[in-house]
Amino acid sequence: MSISSTLSAGGMADAGSARRQSAFKSIFIVASGNFLEMFDFMVFGYYATYISKAFFPTGSEFASLLLTLMTFGAGFLMRPVGALVLGAYVDRHGRRKGLLLTLGLMAVGTLAIAVTPTYAQIGLAAPLIILAGRLVQGLSAGVEVGGVSVYLNEIAPPHRKGFFTSWQSASQQAAVVFAALIGLLVSTSLSPETMQDWGWRVPFVIGCAMIPFLFLIRRHVEETEVFLNRKEHPQIGQIMRMIGSNWGLVLQGALMAVMTTVFFYMVTAYTPTYGSKVLKLGPGESLFITACVGVTNFVLLPVMGALSDRVGRRPLLIGATVLAAVMTYPLMRWLVAGPSFGGLLTAELLMAAVYATYNGAFIVYLTEVIPAHVRTVGFSLAYSMATAIFGGFTPAICTALIEATGDKAIPGAWCAAAALLSLLALLIGGRLNRQA
């Protein structure tokens, strides 16, 4: 080989290495804010028992917990609003500005929850402030997932969009692990009385402490070429009309997102409550299992995203929904027949693997079929509708179903129903399927 050829090959290798480094730097910068969004959402679910006593004392443990979980779910009701309003802003003004705005709103909501005095100290104002904080968080989260997913899709090489986009969900799993480990450390270091007094606030304070750092690194986000190359950026009114003309596409996307949102909040946010309150396991055991779930998903999501690049999205989507519909209720029946740490760990990891398979293909699937000029608002609206109606209320729905039926395995039936609904949407989708 000649010297010139060697130099040329070396230059190409260096250029390729530089591109890979730049791509992974962009993934890290964008996904970091998504990490905070999910961290803040998760710690609220993990500490639902403590929050219920601090802000929703009713004299009934069930009623207080249900009010807390409903407040957790109420944040998701704001997601469609955030998807429409903030999503239109992102499609109009750019991915970079939108990602900075959503991080700011999430910071406001998190700070409100971290510092609010208890019901015993300020009365009814306490739960109202907590609810307001959750609503602000929901407004931000309504477009955060869509904004990050669209950004990663638009910077990805054509043959690696599944792998790149999957890091949106993977960053959430990193947040699940971090939140669970922080919770495990705090709960094992402090007495139950101290935990109820102020210990549950520690993870929220940690979330607040991360905000300046995340603002600093997210400021380095560069606008995507797809957005910059568009000749026109529609006004908000135009975007709303375009969404109206593509309403069927958005609705089917929402129905397909039901499984991924229900499974996610089942195996992450609800696991600590289900393990401790229903199966009577120790809180440390439940949080450790949640951390294991997060690690499993963090590893599997990019793998499944990359696999969808090779075999296509639909085989993974159909296979995961069929398996989920058949498996989840019998799995939960097996678990409650002999509750144990090992049993809950096995059940949660199996459900996590099904979730990762589906989500690894679904997120990129939805970004590919939404038109580019309304991609952020269309994706965000579809995803947030599913989360608001089904996924976000999964902890509260499961709690209510167990109370109403006396069947501790009934959350498995809820997950199976979600899988069947998404499978039906996938099979009869028409336009969405033809475009994929």
- Asked if residue 127 is part of any domain, the answer here is yes
pLDDT at 362: 93
Give rounded-to-5 percent helix, strand, coil for the chain: 85, 0, 15
Average pLDDT in the 295-308 region? 94
Pick the more confident residue, 385 or 217: 385
* Total tally of structural domains belonging to the chain: 1
- 3-class DSSP state of 246: coil
Assess if residue 386 is contained within a domain. yes
DSSP code per residue over 57-96 = --S-HHHHHHHHHHHHHHHHHTHHHHHHHHHHHHHHH-HH
CA distance 235 to 66: 41
pLDDT of amino acid 234: 63
Assign 431 a pLDDT band (cuts: 50, 70, 90).
very low
| pLDDT for residue 65 | 85
Cα–Cα distance, 181 to 191 (Å, whole number): 17
pLDDT attached to residue 315: 94
pLDDT at 436: 42
Asked if residue 402 belongs to a domain, the reply is yes
pLDDT for 55: 92
- Residue with structure tokens 């409550």? 273
Most confident of 29-43, 99-113, 219-233: 99-113
Out of 54-68, 72-86, 301-315, 401-415, pick the least confident.
Answer: 72-86
- pLDDT recorded at residue 108: 86
User: Is 230 within the bounds of a domain?
Assistant: no
- The mean per-residue pLDDT over the stretch 154-176 comes to 86
Question: Of 21 and 54, which is predicted with more confidence?
Answer: 54
pLDDT at 322 over 60: yes
Structure tokens at 325: 């519909």
pLDDT value at position 227? 66
215 phi and psi angles, rounded to 5 deg = -60, -40
Degrees (nearest 5) of the Cα angle 310, 315, 320? 120
Residue 360 placed within a domain: yes
Residues 364/305, Cβ–Cβ less than 8 Å: yes
Is pLDDT at 12 greater than 50 in this prediction? no
How many CB atoms neighbour CB 222 within 10 A? 15
Which range of 4-8, 202-206, 301-305, 364-368 scores highest in mean pLDDT? It is 301-305
Q: Is residue 15 part of a domain?
A: no
**Range among 2-16, 137-151, 319-333 rated most confident:** 319-333
Q: What's the pLDDT score for residue 110?
A: 83
What single-letter DSSP state applies at residue 276?
Answer: I
**Domain assignment of residue 232, yes or no:** no
pLDDT in tens, 82-108: 888 877 777 777 667 777 787 788 888
Residue type, 154: E
Cα–Cα distance for residue pair 335/284, rounded to 1 Å: 19
pLDDT at residue number 357: 96
Domain contains 17? no
pTM for this predicted structure: 0.79
In angstroms, how far apart are the furthest CA atoms of the chain? 83
Mean per-residue pLDDT over the chain, rounded:
83
Q: What domain range includes position 208?
A: 29-218+238-435
User: Is 222 or 364 the better-scoring residue by pLDDT?
Assistant: 364
Q: Convert the pLDDT of each residue in 45-62 to its tens digit.
A: 778 888 998 999 887 888
Is residue 28 scored above 80 in pLDDT? no
Instruction: Supply the pLDDT for residue 300.
Output: 95
Looking at residues 364-370, what average pLDDT do you find? 85
- pLDDT level of residue 226 (50, 70, 90 thresholds): low
* 230 — pLDDT class (breaks 50, 70, 90): low
Give residue 224's pLDDT: 64
Task: Tell me what the mean pLDDT of segment 131-149 comes to.
Answer: 82
Structure letter (DSSP) for residue 190: S
Q: What is the CATH number of the domain that holds 390?
A: 1.20.1250.20
Write down the pLDDT at residue 229.
67
- Taking 70 as the threshold, does the pLDDT of residue 5 lie above it? no
Quick one: average pLDDT of 211-220?
76
Q: Which pLDDT score, from 0 to 100, does residue 173 have? A: 86
